Structure 1
Amino acid sequence: MIEITHRHVQSTSGLRMHIAEAGSGPLVLLLHGFPECWYSWRHQLVALAEAGYHAVAPDQRGYARTGGPARVEDCTILHLVGDVVGLIDALGEDRAVVAGHDWGAPVAWATAQLRPDRVRGVIGLSVPHRRRSSRPPVAALREQLGDGFYMVYFQQPDVPEAELDRDRAATFRRLLYAASGDAPGLVPIVPEGGGFLDVCPEPEELPGWLTEDDIAAFVREYEPSGFTGPLNWYRNLDRNWELTAAWHRAPITPPALFIAGDRDLVAAAPGARESVASMSDVVPDLRGTVWLPGCGHWTQQERPDEVNRAMIDFIGSL
């Protein structure tokens, strides 16, 4: 029986990172999203190890057992890509397959774009690669979707983390349910005078893929660091736009795969389907797009068997 083990490694980026790992062989890095951690890849770590790979899921900068710098400006996309490249170095490898879900997907895409020499293949889950916009994103989001759009709401200092940290078990239970394919459909617009969790209903019962033990695991993993670090990623949206000007419209050249649920709120966002359909224009070696019927946002947790199969088939083709 393959076990998931844990340790801390010193990334050459300077960050001491907690990793969960299993197996041996070619390296596959699994980058989590918000509000998650290594635990969201629990099903893939074992499956990839059984398929002959060294699967590694770090807690990324600001998250869970890794934690990290408190300053907002220390969580830019360049820091996050540096952490990934530094982790590849720390694990003694030249290259890796890099997979990312939710916020981890932009980090995976950016790693493949900025350092294609270190990436054997890239897998994005839920969030497609999007061309760099022509204007700073926060103002565009505010204009298009209003001050209540969750990414705009998260720009406020202190307020979002006070809400999300108040009762972490309720936060994870409500958010993981609300954005899943089992819920009616999450519209992430915070009501005036309200909070983000106001749009995340309390489930009458948990969906089959999510247990009380899973929720307790996320609560336990967030105990060291809380929500400030994760929220700081959103507070760098405009800074990331400024820092990536040199890569405006630069292609992503490594082989790529995209996986998403057809009930994912990201897929329902304005322009998302068009972004997926046109992604091969900037990801020329996109080898497939996998849509999972009835699946919501938590792709690899909601549909582990299908995700495992798609990932292993893609990696085996490289």
Structure 2
Amino acid sequence: MQTRQIKTDGLKQQILEAGSGPLVLLIHGFPELGISWRAQVQALADAGYHAVAPDMRGYGGTDKPAARDAYSILHLVGDMVDLVRALGDTECVVVGHDWGAPVAWHCALTRPDLFRAVVGLSVPFQPRRPKGPPTAAMAAISKRLGLGELYINQFQADDAHAVFEADVAAGLRKGFYAYDGATPEDRQSTGFIPEGETFISTVPDDAPLPPWMTPEHFAEYVAAFSAGGFRGPLDWYRNLDRNWALTAHLQDARIRVPAAFVVGERDPVRHYAGQHEAGLKDWLTDLRMKVVVPGAGHWIQQERADAVNGLLIQFLSEL
């Protein structure tokens, strides 16, 4: 494995890569980095693929544009199109986890000529809602359920990143713990935040690192987010309604390339995005794999690296 920086049309991207052969692009989510895919990069390289995991726009060693509008889904997909070209390829398989999953789904939705197959981890494809922007719908659902405010809505605030930056290590440690499959159910996050609380304050102060996270690996995240901050990563969330406006042309569009979806049985994201799992076959016309990994939480490629590696290589080998 090597880490290097590569210049694309839009920005300078830092990538983790290994191997040679067909290109597989691995897109991380929040609050992660390209290093979140180390186990997959190695396994895919060993299996005969060129595995590339970038730090995404706003993260780690990749550029962090100052403008909030520079973090729309069109920019994020465009970054991946540029990256494939900069790597000298004309097609690839795209894999996304967490926020990286919507990016991967939209790569396949908008450029099936370039992204020949797609895998989403943890977050299912969510078709564009014709009735209006998503944050209002999320707020209405939260109010109806009486569970508090969904953290995604809380992240819309201009200063939402400040609570993470006040204590970077605590914010990251609590976030990883709250969504981990090994965390007891009564200490896992539901994603809904009581009035007067924040995502960080709802997680116990004694939250330890998850079993799969070594202190050395954790230190890499702390260093990256201490240097780069959380404004850019949270700007992804702050573009949700803008993304809805920008993608009117994709209303009712379906993903027609070969697709797979993998989720942890105990992933808290299922509390608010799980409803879309049942309808995946209606939107992914060539859904070849749909797997629920027993006992796994949200950080599935790190929690269950061997299982995810096996599923990815199986899917790729059958293309």
TM-score by length of 2: 0.94
Q: Which residue of 2 aligns with 1:175?
A: 175
- Deviation digits for residues 249-272 of structure 1 (CA, Å, limit 9, x no counterpart): 111111001000011111222xx4
Q: Contact 1:44 / 1:308 at 8 angstroms: preserved in 2?
A: yes
Residue 32 of structure 2 is aligned to residue 36 of structure 1: yes
CA distance in 2, matches of 1:206, 1:129: 29
Letter of the aligned partner of 1:42 in structure 2?
Answer: R
Q: Which residue of 2 aligns with 1:121?
A: 117
Q: Contact 2:21 / 2:48 at 8 angstroms: preserved in 1?
A: yes
Q: 1:309 to 1:140 in 2, by over 3 A?
A: same
Q: Which residue of 1 aligns with 2:291?
A: 290
Q: Which residue of 2 aligns with 1:316?
A: 317
CA distance in 2, matches of 1:63, 1:83: 13
Q: Which residue of 2 aligns with 1:226?
A: 229
Q: Which residue of 2 aligns with 1:247?
A: 250
Q: Which residue of 1 aligns with 2:203?
A: 200
Q: Which residue of 2 aligns with 1:88?
A: 84
CA distance in 1, matches of 2:150, 2:271: 14
Residue 158 of structure 2 is aligned to residue 161 of structure 1: no
SS at structure 1 position matched to 2:13: strand
Letter of the aligned partner of 1:64 in structure 2?
Answer: G
Residue 145 of structure 2 is aligned to residue 145 of structure 1: no
Q: Contact 1:65 / 1:224 at 8 angstroms: preserved in 2?
A: no
Q: 1:35 to 1:53 in 2, by over 3 A?
A: same
Percent identical across equivalent pairs?
49
Q: Which residue of 1 aligns with 2:261?
A: 258
Unaligned runs of 5+ in 1: none
Across the aligned residues of Structure 1 and Structure 2, the Cα RMSD in angstroms comes to: 1.3
CA distance in 1, matches of 2:168, 2:208: 18
- Deviation digits for residues 114-137 of structure 1 (CA, Å, limit 9, x no counterpart): 000001210000000011112110
SS at structure 2 position matched to 1:192: coil
- Deviation digits for residues 9-54 of structure 1 (CA, Å, limit 9, x no counterpart): 1123x11111111111111000000011111111111111111111
SS at structure 2 position matched to 1:30: strand
Q: Contact 1:179 / 1:298 at 8 angstroms: preserved in 2?
A: yes
Identify the match of residue 46 of structure 2 among 34, 47, 50: 50
TM-score by length of 1: 0.95
Identify the match of residue 27 of structure 1 among 23, 26, 31: 23
Kindly state the Cα deviation for residue 176 of structure 1 after the two structures are TM-superposed.
Answer: 0.3
SS at structure 2 position matched to 1:199: coil
CA distance in 1, matches of 2:92, 2:269: 26
Residue 127 of structure 2 is aligned to residue 131 of structure 1: yes
Identify the match of residue 105 of structure 1 among 101, 107, 112: 101
Q: Which residue of 1 aligns with 2:276?
A: 275
Kindly state the Cα deviation for residue 194 of structure 1 after the two structures are TM-superposed.
Answer: 2.4
SS at structure 2 position matched to 1:129: coil
Kindly state the Cα deviation for residue 190 of structure 1 after the two structures are TM-superposed.
Answer: 2.4
CA distance in 1, matches of 2:154, 2:59: 20
Letter of the aligned partner of 1:261 in structure 2?
Answer: G
Greater mean deviation of Cα atoms: 161-170 or 182-191: 182-191
Kindly state the Cα deviation for residue 188 of structure 1 after the two structures are TM-superposed.
Answer: 1.9
Unaligned runs of 5+ in 2: none
Q: Which residue of 1 aligns with 2:216?
A: 213
* Paired positions, count: 311
Letter of the aligned partner of 2:133 in structure 1?
Answer: P
Q: Which residue of 2 aligns with 1:5?
A: 2
Write out the 4+ residue segments of structure 1 that deviate beyond 6 Å after TM superposition.
Answer: none
Letter of the aligned partner of 1:276 in structure 2?
Answer: E
SS at structure 1 position matched to 2:113: helix
Q: Contact 1:67 / 1:225 at 8 angstroms: preserved in 2?
A: no
Letter of the aligned partner of 2:182 in structure 1?
Answer: D
Q: Contact 2:120 / 2:262 at 8 angstroms: preserved in 1?
A: yes
Letter of the aligned partner of 1:80 in structure 2?
Answer: L
Kindly state the Cα deviation for residue 205 of structure 1 after the two structures are TM-superposed.
Answer: 4.1
- Deviation digits for residues 100-150 of structure 1 (CA, Å, limit 9, x no counterpart): 000000000000000000012100000000111121101111111147211
Kindly state the Cα deviation for residue 89 of structure 1 after the two structures are TM-superposed.
Answer: 0.4
Kindly state the Cα deviation for residue 61 of structure 1 after the two structures are TM-superposed.
Answer: 0.8
